[in-house]
Amino acid sequence: MREIKPREANEKARKVWNSNATFWNKHMGEGNDFVNHLVWPATERLLDLKANEEILDIACGNGFSSRKLSRIGAKVTAFDFSEVMIEAAMSVKSDENKRIDYRVMDATDPSALLDLGTHRYDAAICCMALFDMADIEPLFRSLLRLLKKDGRFVFSLIHPCFNNDRMVQIAEMEDREGEISTRYGVKVWGYMTPTTSQGVGIPGQPEVQLYFHRPLQLVLQPLFRIGFVLDGFEERAFPPEYDGGTFPLSWSGKYSEIPPVLVARVRPK
């Protein structure tokens, strides 16, 4: 697709998420297989939540991650730039949801972020959303001031090495000394160059969404430059016994050696 400036791309992404919000809320619910098998277990380990800690949930979507945090004792402030997503999040009738402070905010707007309060939060999470953001550096710079000195930031991504807009999942059948076998893998023909592409997160969603691919160095280097250190990192793949469903080459146990997701933790120096 044509190159678009970050502000224009960000506004386009917001409109798409407003269009897709109702569909996504229905199909995501309290977490899909990617969340429940890959993302959340590692997020919970790296977050290492303590009772009554104050947590910022960035780009919270329909609030499934916020409710998980609230359920295990956190005081949660959660925001998303999609008004319709926040409406969906607030509509959930549960005790843990009543304790969450939901807001409509843009993660690329540093002034709005800093209005939340400096050195207020014990931790922040961003669950599978950095690749939805046209510009991640304003968020990273703001986090250094939002987090307490001993705070931490845990984020998850579709793995940019193995799960990007320039890869395909493949299956190869071979005759190995008289025995027919099938080998599953991925074919990647691009990684180093940042790209903006359009794709589908959940089949059937009303509109294609924008994906902002960045190689790992362009995710981590800004954090290091701003003053964070990496001290936790997990690459997550489905176990061999996992059944991926109706799509024959969907992420499943057949790809158990290839991680479609990574989860990382950084802290201020």
pLDDT over threshold 90, residue 250: no
Position with higher pLDDT, 110 vs 1: 110
Mean pLDDT of 194-223: 95
The DSSP bridge partners found for residue 170 are: 185
Residue-wise pLDDT tens digits, 154-208: 999 999 999 999 999 999 999 888 899 999 999 999 999 999 999 998 889 999 9
Q: How many CB atoms lie within 10 A of CB 152?
A: 21
**What pLDDT, on the 0 to 100 scale, is given for residue 236?**
97
Domains identified in the chain and CATH numbers: 6-268 (3.40.50.150)
90, 102 contact by CB (below 8 A): yes
pLDDT over threshold 90, residue 244: no
DSSP 237: -
Q: For residue 83, how far is the Cα from the chain centroid?
A: 19
Q: What is the pTM of this model?
A: 0.94
**What pLDDT, on the 0 to 100 scale, is given for residue 248?**
78
**What pLDDT, on the 0 to 100 scale, is given for residue 2?**
55
Distance CA 17, CA 88 (A): 12
pLDDT over threshold 80, residue 133: yes
**What pLDDT, on the 0 to 100 scale, is given for residue 180?**
93
